[in-house]
């Protein structure tokens, strides 16, 4: 019996097939903050587990809230968040890298 999952994300066991269907996971709502919307383009995500990992890491970034990740398996996924303070691209890139993926661009 193999421990590999069919989604190709590294064996998370989600049994998700890689398709072009979008999966969105939204972080828990927080109190509303005034801020700027930031959009990230991310490569390498293939399943819901990937979305959860990116969501968790971006939610940990100080000043980031309302994180929403949209999966485009086999393509470039997007994440949007609200920044209550200016966020450095290096901090966002570190969060995406810690989740195991590649940050392609940041649009603030």
Domain ranges of the chain: 36-107
The mean of the pLDDT values for the chain is 82
pLDDT in tens, 4-45: 444 555 555 554 444 445 665 555 444 444 579 999 999 999
Identify which of 88, 98, 39, 97 has the alpha carbon closest to the alpha carbon of residue 62.
88
- Cα 74 to Cα 22, 81, 104, distances in angstroms: 11, 22, 14
pTM assigned to the model = 0.71
For the segment(s) 36-107, the CATH number from 3.40.50.620, 3.40.30.10, 3.30.70.100, 3.90.226.30 is 3.30.70.100
């Amino acid at each position: 019996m193999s421990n590999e999952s069919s989604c190709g994300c590294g064996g998370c066991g989600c049994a998700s097939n890689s398709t072009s269907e979008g999966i969105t996971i939204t972080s828990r709502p927080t109190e509303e903050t005034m801020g700027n919307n930031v959009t990230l383009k991310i490569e390498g995500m293939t399943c819901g587990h990937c979305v959860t990992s990116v969501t968790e890491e971006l939610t940990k970034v100080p000043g980031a809230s309302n994180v929403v990740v949209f999966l485009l398996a086999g393509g470039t996924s997007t994440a949007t968040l609200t920044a209550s303070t200016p966020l450095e691209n290096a901090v966002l890139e570190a969060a995406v890298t810690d989740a195991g993926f590649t940050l392609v661009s940041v649009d603030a």
